[in-house]
Amino acid sequence: MRRIIAVLIENEAGALSRVTGLFAQRNYNIDSLTVSRTEDETLSRMTIETIADDAGVEQITKHLNKIVEVVKVDDLSEHRHLVREIMLVKVRAEGLARAEMKRMADIFRGQIVDVTTSTFTIQLVGADDKLSSFIEAIDPNLVLEVARSGVTGIARGTRTLRIK
């Protein structure tokens, strides 16, 4: 089952390698990983997307908690949550395909953020399956490059991941 795990971690050198090292060492997979600053400059926030059963995710969260720099761990998939990912796609946009590509971007509520005479760069934001659907919906011969951010997520409602 797909899991989205959010982690607050001390913003220190080497902390990230402990997390990725843990996944490698214990044979857990990482489908995507995003890391970024937070409003508190001493903390980073990670979102890890992984596939695990209940026992597996219990071990993953416990071992994440064991890492000395990890401050908080939340398995977002245990409760209602939102996930979002950003994708930049560079496509060939020439001749007839140019108008078609513009239409497809509109259908998926994407924005064209960069234009040349022969290409568009389209930005899409959404749940990750929406982004995949876009790629599947357009002619694969026209796709020049795809850059995806990996998912980030947050719990719905009043539930928060923060230090008291």
Partner 1 sequence: MLIRALQDEGVEYIFGYPGGAALHIYDAIFKQQKIEHILVRHEQAATHMADAYARATGKPGVVLVTSGPGATNAITGIATAYMDSSPMIVISGQVPSNLIGTDAFQETDMIGVSRPVVKHSFLVPSVSSIPGIVKKAFHIAASGRPGPVVIDIPKDTTDPGITAPYEYPSTVAMRSYNPSVKGNHRQVVRAVGHMLDAKRPVFYVGGGVMHGEASDRLRKLANTLGFPVTSTLMGLGAFPASHPHWLGMLGMHGTYEANHAMHHSDCVIAIGARFDDRVTNEPRKFCPGATIIHVDVDPASISKIVRADVPVVGEAEVVISQMLKELDKQLARSPDRLDRAAIDDWLARIDAWRRQYGLDEDARLEQPRDPILPQQAVRALARIAPENAYVTSDVGQHQMFVAQHFPFQAPRRWINSGGLGTMGFGLPAAMGVQFADLGASVVCVTGEGSFMMNLQELSTCLQYRLPLKIICLNNQALGMVKQWQDMQYGGRHSHSTYQDSLPDFVSLVDSFGHVGLRVFKHAELEPTLRQAFSDKNKDKLVFVDILVDPQEHVYPMAIKGGAMCDMYLSKSEDTLADS
If binding is defined by CB under 8 A, does position 16 make contact with partner 1? no
If binding is defined by CB under 8 A, does position 162 make contact with partner 1? no
Three-state secondary structure call for residue 68: coil
Q: Contact 15/9 with Cβ under 8 angstroms?
A: yes
The CA–CA distances, whole Å, from 73 to 4, 64, 124, 132 equal: 11, 7, 28, 28
Looking at 18-26, 98-106, 127-135, 138-146, which segment touches partner 1 (CB under 8 A)?
Answer: 18-26
Nearer to partner 1, 63 or 130 (CB): 63
- Binding mask 51-90 toward partner 1 (x if CB under 8 A, else -) reads ----x--xx--xx-xx-xxxx-------------------
Nearer to partner 1, 29 or 59 (CB): 59
Q: Contact 161/8 with Cβ under 8 angstroms?
A: yes
Token pair in block for residue 139: 């002619």
User: Which of 127, 116, 114, 118 minimizes the C-alpha distance to 153?
Assistant: 127
Nearer to partner 1, 13 or 96 (CB): 13
Chain residues binding partner 1 by CB under 8 A are: 9-10, 13-14, 17-18, 21, 25, 55, 58-59, 62-63, 65-66, 68-71, 163
